[in-house]
């Protein structure tokens, strides 16, 4: 009896699946900032080789989700207060550029409609912390996308891992007040009016408030 040969496993696909699984575990809070990420343990849990896990962890280091500590031991990244403030200053600059380019576009009204839809998703998240985080970040990504500047979006995406680690470093009960439709609406309103100074001021204040929240001492 002849047996059909088994197809070769696509290692690139396997590597991507492992990468997505580890990224999701970190950004969902299953692994918290400071948690050790051991190759042997992860390989056993995922049913893959240590080499595949090592490749995925190396990629997560480049994204800023994972960092090497003593003796090269890998841990979920933890940002210092200075790094968090720097992160949100860069976000303010990028999203300030986004609103600048949106206001200059002839189809500004279409962008306003898209941003209002993004706010509706945030409102629909209710008290579900994970859904609220996704909707909040979704609004800001959409803001960058509507600028029509792919390099701006790519720059924002490069920060996303660190943004998520910063958010997950706090308990869900401490979700910042800026993760609400009311805190995002003024950005849209300023864009709709074509009020560039007003839009920039709102974005700056939004990011400054987030930096203050994430660098404050957690409530006990």
The pLDDT of residue 218 is 63
* pLDDT of 3 strictly over 50: no
pTM of the model: 0.81
% of the chain surpassing 70 pLDDT = 90
The pLDDT of residue 32 is 84
* pLDDT of 11 strictly over 80: no
* pLDDT of 6 strictly over 70: no
Separation CA 73–CA 175 (nearest Å): 30
Q: What is the pLDDT of residues 53-101, one digit of tens each?
A: 999 999 998 888 898 877 778 999 888 999 999 999 999 999 999 999 9
* pLDDT of 171 strictly over 80: no
Cα 126–chain centre separation: 19
Distance in Å from the first CA to the final CA of the chain: 68
Q: Residue 145: name the closest of 158, 130, 157, 161 by CA.
A: 157
Q: What is the pLDDT of residues 99-149, one digit of tens each?
A: 999 999 999 999 999 999 999 999 999 888 888 989 999 999 999 999 999
Structure tokens at 160: 């996303």
Based on its alpha-carbon atoms, the radius of gyration of the chain, rounded to whole angstroms, reads: 20
Q: Which helix (H) or strand (E) holds 141?
A: helix 129-145
Of the two residues 11 and 33, the one the predictor is more confident about is 33
């Amino acid at each position: 009896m002849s047996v059909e040969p088994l197809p070769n496993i696509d290692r690139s696909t396997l590597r991507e699946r492992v990468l997505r699984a580890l990224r999701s575990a970190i950004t969902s809070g299953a692994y918290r900032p400071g948690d050790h990420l051991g190759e042997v343990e992860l390989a056993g849990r995922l049913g893959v080789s240590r080499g595949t896990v090592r490749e995925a962890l190396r990629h997560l280091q480049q994204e800023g989700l994972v960092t090497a500590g003593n003796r090269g031991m890998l841990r979920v990244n933890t940002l210092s207060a200075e790094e968090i403030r720097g992160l949100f200053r860069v976000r303010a600059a990028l999203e300030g550029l986004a609103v600048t380019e949106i206001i200059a576009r002839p189809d500004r009204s279409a962008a306003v409609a898209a941003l209002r839809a993004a706010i509706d998703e945030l409102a629909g998240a209710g008290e579900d912390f994970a859904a609220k985080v996704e909707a909040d970040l979704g609004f800001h990504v959409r803001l960058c996308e509507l600028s029509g500047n792919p390099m701006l979006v790519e720059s924002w995406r490069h920060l996303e891992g660190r943004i998520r680690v910063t958010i997950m470093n706090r308990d869900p009960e401490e979700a910042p007040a800026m993760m609400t439709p009311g805190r995002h609406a003024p950005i849209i309103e300023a864009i709709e009016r074509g009020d560039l100074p007003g839009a920039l001021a709102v974005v700056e204040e939004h990011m400054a408030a987030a930096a203050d929240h994430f660098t404050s001492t957690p409530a006990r």
